[in-house]
Chains A and B, each alone.
Chain A
Amino acid sequence: MRKVAIVGVGMIPFGRYESESLVEMLAMPALRAMDDAGIGDRAVDALYVGNMAAGMFNHQSAVASALADYLALLPAAADTIENGPASGGSAIKNGLLAVASGYYDLVLVVGGEKMRDVIGPRATDTVATMTHPTAEYIYGVTLPSLAGMFTRLYMEKYGVTERHLAQVAIKNHNNGLLNPYAHIHASITQEGILDSPHSVVNSPIVSDPLRLYDCCPVSDGAAALLLCPAEMVAEFKKPKVVIAGFGQATDTQTVQEREDPTDLKAVRLAAQQAFAMAKQTPRDVDLAELHDAFTILEIAESEHAGFFKKGEGARALEEGRTRIGGDLPINPSGGLKARGHALGGTGVAQVAELVWHLRGEAGQRQVKGAEVGFSLNFGGFGNNVTAFVLRREA
């Protein structure tokens, strides 16, 4: 297997797009990634597009073929990769394997979603189609409500409190203020979202115990990466950042069938595989982009990925260890909470963020001297998870 590098990165601000079509939204970061690497008119061998539900949100299918055409990548190979909210992570995986195998040299990976063509409750419904059709979906279960049931148990078992959850939101909103690509640029306070009696309206219950500020917004957004074999990096203009490790694991579709519903087995396994392949440990990691679709997930994933012992993620957060400037900054981008969560776009945006930090290009939110980064993209309610370890190399 060849070692694979990321030589180009592109993103567009997350939020809401009206005048651009889905394909135009995907094209913008793709062109930026190509320019970032400086590939000029050199041919791209293959395109992988991570997208969960263009069929439902935008009434469009075969998105990768459309993008290959729009960007004049023809006759490059093109595939749309769907893995729920982890479609982005899976698209990168496909690019990684294609280059590592020696089959392709230059591969473009794009992830994106245009969710806001439909109104909020319809988006909620579309996302909920990931759940089991007869054992879950029919009840009106949503991703926030699966997360709510998980949070209730996690609080009971590990003493995580609403205050901890609010701290995740506040930290990530603060980080988002430093990120020009973030969907939400608003500093929030503990008083405003939790302590004040007025907070019941500011941060209403979405699915208890989760409130508005415990949830990611519904975002439009897209990001792109250009991959090549590590030995080719010198042909481009950027420093060498390699995908040192990758892991992916699945778990039961319904949460009820998990032996211990508070155990995110797929997160554990995906992270272990990624670290094993990279020959590194969680201790080596300088920053992590975790899938905080719900605040509880940042805490739980930080434990399951091996950064903290089970039940100690909340304490690390309280101690400020996961802030920018702490010993393990988590979600310096603002995470899904503030950067936003554009389903298929998220996994790619996470890795793009890591690349910027490893190159020292992350501007005001730069994690100083970062050499190793970790990302985790959580599909379904934890039933299909991808993880990456990135490393800057000489």
Chain B
Amino acid sequence: MPMDMELEALLRPPASQMPTYPPKWITLATGAKMVVRQLERGDVPTLLNAVRPTMKVARDYYDIVGARLYAELLGWYRYRVKDHYCLAGQVNGALVGIVNGRMYTPEIGMSYHTLAIDRGLRVGAHLFAAKMEYHLEYLGQEEVWITAESPIGFRRWMIEYGLELKEGMQHELGGASFYSLTKAIWHEAKPRLCVGSRPVPRELLAKAELEIRVADEGHILDKILGVKGGD
């Protein structure tokens, strides 16, 4: 169907200038090197293949996170979310985790979701930290608004970072009172929670950029479920 570009122009939010997130690399516990880099709109169809299977997993609220992340990515792809970004972790090209959010105002960052596809290796912790780093150090914002959907998320972000409660206010995702990561909290937490080296050696980066490999559905379910028995 041909697009009514006049109407489309009304529906498309204008895009702000957003500095890019400089890629970094992190040694994981296994010794593997994870590249953390910013993805582009054109990568969305590939990402959706990784997110889709997670929507079936009720454990640890993967279904809610998966479904919302799917919608956010799609919205970004079809120009319906303003100033959205997505960072991803890759090991040998394979996608191991995704985080996203958006620039709400020039001063306030809105953190959306953290999805670890490879569990047990603190991938989620590394990627969440990278997204905070992006907001506060590259977008130059004053604070990031964060809400947790799972008890694990609450424990991880609110307590590990020591976030500030915004009593009674609302995050874009709705939900309970949310929390804020301010610059002061970030500077206290950073040495403990945000690591990584730059620049990424050329070969390592080239491998990540060449292809975002997404494991097949069964493999993803296996990884995030990690449940024994059931037979």
Contact = CB atoms under 8 A, between A and B. Distances in A.
| Complex A–B touching at CB under 8 A | yes
Interface of A: 12-20, 25, 28, 119-121, 184, 186-189, 191-193, 196-204, 213, 220
B228 A189 contact: no
B78 interface: no
B19 interface: no
Contact of A186 (B27, B29, B126, B155): B29
B56 interface: no
Contacts of A220: 228
A17 B228 contact: yes
Contact of A13 (B125, B155, B197, B228): B228
Q: Which 8 A-B pairs have the closest CB atoms?
A: A189-B31, A192-B29, A15-B228, A196-B27, A202-B29, A198-B195, A198-B27, A13-B228
B27 A187 contact: no
A19 B227 CA distance: 9
Contacts of B196: 198
Contact of B27 (A20, A120, A192, A213): A192
A38 B32 CA distance: 45
Contact of B28 (A19, A20, A192): A192
A203 B26 CA distance: 13
A220 B229 CA distance: 11
Nearest to A181: B228
> For chain A, what secondary structure do more than half of its interface residues adopt (helix, strand, loop), or is it mixed?
mixed
Interface residues of B, number: 29
Interface in B96-143: 120-122, 125-126, 129
Contact of A189 (B29, B125, B227, B230): B29
Contacts of A121: 155
A17 B30 contact: no
B19 to A, nearest CB: 24
A168 to B, nearest CB: 15
A189 B28 CA distance: 9
B18 interface: no
Given A119-B152, A198-B195, A186 B120 contact: yes
B155 A199 contact: no
Contact of A18 (B59, B191, B194): B59
Contacts of B197: 197-198
21 contacts: A12-B228, A12-B229, A13-B229, A18-B59, A20-B229, A28-B229, A119-B151, A186-B120, A187-B30, A189-B31, A192-B32, A197-B195, A197-B197, A198-B27, A198-B197, A200-B195, A201-B26, A201-B122, A201-B193, A201-B195, A202-B27
Interface in B44-96: 59
A14 B26 CA distance: 29
Interface centre among A196, A201, A204, A213 (most CB of B within 10 A): A201
Nearest to A25: B229
B42 interface: no
B227 A17 contact: yes
B195 A18 contact: no
Contacts of B121: 186, 202
B230 A213 contact: no
B187 to A, nearest CB: 16
A20 B229 CA distance: 7
A204 B192 contact: yes
Contacts of A20: 229-230
B123 to A, nearest CB: 10
Given A12-B229, A16-B226, A191 B27 contact: yes
